[in-house]
Amino acid sequence: MLQWLHSTQLFKCTTAAMDGATRNGHFGIVKWLHQTGDKSCSNGAVYGAASNGHLEIVKWLYKHIRIDFYLYGPAIAAENGHLSIVQWFHENWLQTFSTHAMDVAAESGHMEVLTWLHENRSEGCTEDGPYYAAKSGYLNIVQWLYEHYSSKFTYYVMDAAARNGHLQIVRWLPDHRSEGL
C-alpha cells in the first residue's frame, strides 16, 4: 500500500510515518521510507523505538539519520526495562544519561536495569526514585534503593506507599526511616 501511494505521488509521508514505523517496530518500512527519500523523523522516532525495545532500529537511526537522542532515550528504555538499549546508549552516547533513567526504572520495577545503572553509571537517582518505587508498590526496589541511596529518602516515600495502599512498604519503612512518621 505504501509503495502504491508513493508511486502515485499523491501523498507525501510526514515525520509521523517514520516515527510510527519506528515505534511499532516496522523496520522494513523504516528502511523503505529512508530509501525513497522520506528521511525525516522527529526525536520521537528514537524514543518510540527505545520505549518498545527495538534495538536494531535505534542502532539504524543512529547510523543513518543521526538524530539527537538527548537525555530521554536512555530513560525511556530504562522505564520500559530494555536493558540492552540502555547499554547501547551507554556505549554510544555517554552524555545522554541523567538521574531520570534510574528514577523511572525504579518506578517501573526494573531491578536489572537499576543494578546495571548503579554498577556502570555515576548519575544515581533523585528523591523521585524511592518515591516512585513506593508509589508503585515495589518493596524490593525500595529496599535496594535504601541500601544504595538512603540519602534520597524523604517523608514523601511513606506518604506515597500509604496513599497507594502498599502495606508491606508502610510496615517496612518505620524500621529503617523516620521521615513521614
Residue 146 lies in a domain: no
pLDDT in tens, 79-98: 999 999 999 999 987 777 89
Residue 134 lies in a domain: no
Residue 50 lies in a domain: yes
Structural domain span for residue 56: 1-68
pLDDT in tens, 114-138: 999 999 999 999 999 999 999 999 9
pLDDT band for 179, please (50, 70, 90 cuts).
Answer: low
Average pLDDT, the chain: 87
> What average pLDDT score do residues 160-168 get?
98
Residue 35 lies in a domain: yes
Residue 140 lies in a domain: no
- Cα–Cα distance for residue pair 52/135, rounded to 1 Å: 23
- Cα–Cα distance for residue pair 89/91, rounded to 1 Å: 5
What nine digits make up the cell of 36?
525513497
Q: Please state, for a pLDDT cut of 70, what percent of the chain lies above it.
A: 84
34 vs 110: which has the higher pLDDT:
110
Q: 22: Cβ–Cβ under 8 A, 6 or more apart, which residues?
A: 30, 41, 45, 46, 48, 49, 54, 57, 61
Residue 49 lies in a domain: yes
- Domains in the chain, number: 1
Statement: residue 66 has pLDDT above 80: no
Residue 29 lies in a domain: yes
Residue type for position 125: C
Residue 37 lies in a domain: yes
